[in-house]
Amino acid sequence: MIGRGAEGLDMQAADVCVVGAGPAGITLALELAARGQKVLVLESGGEQQDDALQELSAADVANPQVHDDPRICMARRLGGTSNLWGARCQPFDPIDFAHRDWVPDAAWPIGFSDALSPWYGRACELLSCGEPAFQDAGLSGRKPDPIVDVTRLERFSTAPKMQLAHGRVLAHSPLIDLRLHCTVVDIQLDEHGHAASLQVCTPDGQRHAVPVRRLVLAMGGLESTRLLLNLQRRHPALFGGDAGPLGRHYMAHVIGEVSDITFADAAIDAAFDFFLDGRGSYARRRFIPSDAAQRSHQLPNVSFWPVVPPVADPRHRSALLSTVFLAMAMGPIGRLLMAEAIRRYHAPPGTPWSPHVGNLLRGLPAAVSGSVGFLMRRYVSRPRVPGFFIRNDSRRYGLSYHAEHFPHADSRVRLSDQTDRLGLPKLQIDLRFGEEDAAALFRAHELMRAWLLNNKLGELHYRQPAEETPVAILAAARHGTHQIGTARMASETGAGVVNEDLQTFDVPNLYVNSSAVFPSSGQANPTLTIVALSVRLASHLAQ
């Protein structure tokens, strides 16, 4: 059932209490109920966006040039960040779990093939992204390459909003009690150090003590960490204290474009466009340096793919791209098209509109026909095309990257002395990208540049003098939606907050189920792996 408020929750505890109804929380509820477990899910928001509730996620960001406002990176509503998600589904890679001496503090206590890979199939079902097939034959007529892998795929969900995809089960399962407008502000421990109850605030201003047996925080990376830090403030020895791992090693991904790519022939352009896989799901190829290349060049795990020129730069002189920019730049329209953080990335506030209006007027017929076609494929057709890629006769495109962010202990979040209106301390966020991140990513670009030339596939063109590229990479580094590493998984207490089963070392019946537990960020978007870990955790809790 789906209800509102905390009435009756002070009676008997469910088998498992889950805080948060986003991808992780909904997955846990579905999988635990399927295994016969009674589940209580507490969600801060309602069914729709509520700006007043979003204010509860306001934080003190040390460098707003590096980290987006958390209020646009989170979604306090049923479905959580699946309402903001770009629908990308990619597994982590085996090399992410291997020992890499050039990536310190990145060790996972679990293996890929035995502990994670078996759960990706069910995760793909839950996320509606087709079969768990993330490789294909690569470029036509070319043998597998030992330097750059072109067989790897990202897949896209056809039903990204999980509350819509699974609403019927959530509403009608007798084993699921999902309560909206229940904001958890504190965890109470008993005399044995176990989580005994939650303090829950409801819109009527009441506070309720909700008993728990086993508790899972599935509130996203930052909010899960925030609640743990608040618990630590009252019990300073927990999780290693202030010098311990909680809140440290905050990671995102290093993203941006500092170069262009020109393909040698049009067949390569087509190979990197979105395509339907024959089972009704979209997929797309990416360039990823091989494991051997990553080891020999000490690279981060990174993926590259071609993109249209930056839509905010009117020098592309494309009426269609300027139409896209203007739609994104108009706040109310742009927010309907994409998540706010993504909108601001592609259409930065303050970008002049007049040059784009000029492009639009000069190419109005092409803009109209192209826009209608794209809008039909994006918002009317089923399945909907997940992105925007326009091939051109010059075969020149931006080269986008999505790179691993190396763990840095001083990249961290703490609690502020300020509180939100419910009394929960706000976060202080200090996300840091280091020179080693930029230097390693520049080496990856150099590898790509040489590989393209040697294989006669094309050319890589830097947008600045080559030696200035690391500076450009750091200047472009900005994130906030992938909240990784602040409650990391480890094999022993002191090195992390949770063990391989996502159970906290210091509170035996408390679990964390979000990207905060990832010891490394990899090159992949985190959602598919979060859902896979959720299925794995449900199996463990039901035993």
What pLDDT, in 10s, does the model give residues 373-396? 666 666 666 788 888 788 877 788
Position 140 confidence tier, pLDDT thresholds 50, 70, 90: low
- Average per-residue pLDDT for the chain: 93
Mean pLDDT of 188-212: 96
Mean pLDDT of 143-157: 91
Q: Residue 433 in contact with residue 461, Cβ under 8 Å?
A: no
The strand ranges marked E within 157-231 are 176-180, 183-189, 195-201, 207-211, 215-217
Mean pLDDT of 115-143: 89
pLDDT of 193 strictly over 70: yes
pLDDT digits (tens, 9 = 90+) for 74-89: 999 999 999 999 999 9
- Residue 245: what are its φ and ψ, rounded to 5°? -80, -20
pLDDT digits (tens, 9 = 90+) for 487-506: 999 999 999 999 999 999 99
Orientation angle between helical segments 120-127 and 23-34, nearest 10 degrees: 110
Position 117 confidence tier, pLDDT thresholds 50, 70, 90: very high
Gyration radius (Cα) of the chain, Å: 23
Domains and CATH numbers, the chain: 2-86+160-252+409-432+483-541 (3.50.50.60)
Mean pLDDT of 308-320: 79
What tokens does 434 get? Answer: 């280091």
Least confident of 9-23, 173-187, 213-227: 9-23
Strand partners for 197: 188, 211
Q: Is the peptide bond before 365 cis (omega within 30 degrees of 0)?
A: no
Handedness of CA 413, 242, 403, 489 (dihedral sign): negative
φ/ψ bin of 385: left (φ > 0), alpha (ψ from -120 to 50), beta (otherwise): beta
pLDDT given at position 310: 77
Token look-up 């997940």 returns 386
Position 367 confidence tier, pLDDT thresholds 50, 70, 90: low
Q: How much of the chain, in percent, has pLDDT values that exceed 70?
A: 96
In DSSP notation, 183-204 reads EEEEEEE-TTS-EEEEEEE-TT
CA pair distance 238, 370, nearest whole angstrom: 57
CA pair distance 154, 161, nearest whole angstrom: 18
